[in-house]
Amino acid sequence: MKQTQYGDVSVELRESIAIVTLARSAKRNALSDAMMASLEQAFSELPTSVGAAVLCGSGDHFCAGLDLSELKDRDAVEGLHHSRSWHRILSGLEFGRIPIVAALHGAVVGGGLELATSCHIRVADDSAFFALPEGSRGIFVGGGGSVRVPKLIGVHRMLDMMLTGRVYKAAEAVPLGFAQYHAATGGALDMAIELATRIATNAPMTNYALIHGLPRIAEQTADHGFFSESMLVAIAQSAPEAKARVRDFLEGRAAKVQV
Ligand code: 1HE
């Protein structure tokens, strides 16, 4: 186990996975500019031996969103560049080298929800709640939320959240699409670690093809999507590791699909 600190972001390496923690609980893990830079650096410096990551928050909440204390000094042009920096950093997570599992508890709000939706798998424990208070703070989402959130829950649910301040609770997270998994209170991190450990056993090229290919193919026409799919399957199956894994199955050494 190796622990590295990047400002208010800590990284623990546990064999094939990394646990990245937002470590600013006194401010409910509100994302300052420095913290966003730390997050970007932490992920970019993960060693290639890491095959999947968990992203979680310290204290009682996952993340309270943008650090509102830094908002007051920005003019329009600075606001534009600030939003674009979030896009760069969160797209770097979504389209990075490895899958990321977000362990969600407490507040997953504003930019915290934008951060969670840039991860690939979300586990919400019973304490988690989801909100977009930007509507009532006189602002707008700026970290990619208008693109990523509707893909999970639909445009009209997001509209409702921003217009009325509606808060969704953990029990609704999986049925509505905020998360793929639900855990008991305090159980999100363990479940996320288990999932990330499982994901890290996949062939790296398959994981890469999935996180880069699937979201892009979903936005292509069927004809373009079929072609992209063929390119990805051809590359993935040509890797020596893929051939070895298929051989392992055919010779009875690999795990079967379990019900
Ligand atoms: C903060 C922030 C923050 C807490 N920026 N300082 N996000 C929001 O509008 C959410 C704002 N936060 C909250 O609604 C609540 O803080 C929570 C529901 C998350 C947690 O409540 P609670 O009672 O546990 O904590 P608290 O007492 O409200 O906050 C503890 C401290 O954290 C307090 O500071 P203190 O110095 O008085 O102790 C809070 O001021 C501080 N804090 N949240 C700065 N967000 C790229 S665009 C993205 C757009 C957005 O994300 S807008 C922000 C949306």
Residue 25 maps to a domain: yes
Dihedral sign, Cα of residue 66, residue 97, residue 81, residue 5:
positive
Do 213 and 184 share a structural domain?
no
Query: In the structure, what pLDDT confidence band is assigned to residue 182 with cuts at 50, 70 and 90?
Result: very high
The model's pLDDT over 83-130, given as tens digits with 9 standing for 90+, comes to 999 999 999 999 999 999 999 999 999 999 999 999 999 999 999 999
Q: How far is the CA of 69 from the centre of ligand 1 (A)?
A: 9
Residue 150 maps to a domain: yes
Question: Does any ligand 1 atom lie closer than 6 A to the CB of residue 63?
Answer: no
Q: What CATH number did the domain enclosing 95 receive?
A: 3.90.226.10
Q: Please give the tally of structural domains in the chain.
A: 2
Do 163 and 118 share a structural domain?
yes
Q: How far is the CA of 63 from the centre of ligand 1 (A)?
A: 8
pTM for this prediction: 0.96
Q: What is the pLDDT of residue 179?
A: 98
Do 214 and 150 share a structural domain?
no
Residue 259 maps to a domain: no
Residue 138 maps to a domain: yes
Among candidate residues 55, 53, 57, the one with its CA nearest the CA of residue 22:
57
Among 22, 28, 162, the mutation site with the greatest number of ligand 1 atoms within 8 A of its Cβ is 28
Residue 94 maps to a domain: yes
Q: What is the pLDDT of residue 161?
A: 97
- When pLDDT is averaged across residues 50-67 and rounded to a whole number, the result is 98
Nearest CA, atom 32, ligand 1: 27
Task: Say if residues 47 and 13 touch (Cβ distance below 8 Å).
Answer: yes
- Tell me which residue range forms the domain holding 194: 2-199
Cα separation of 28 and 114, whole Å? 15
Do 138 and 94 share a structural domain?
yes
Cα separation of 175 and 236, whole Å? 32
pLDDT at residue 46 greater than cutoff 90? yes
Task: Say if residues 254 and 245 touch (Cβ distance below 8 Å).
Answer: yes
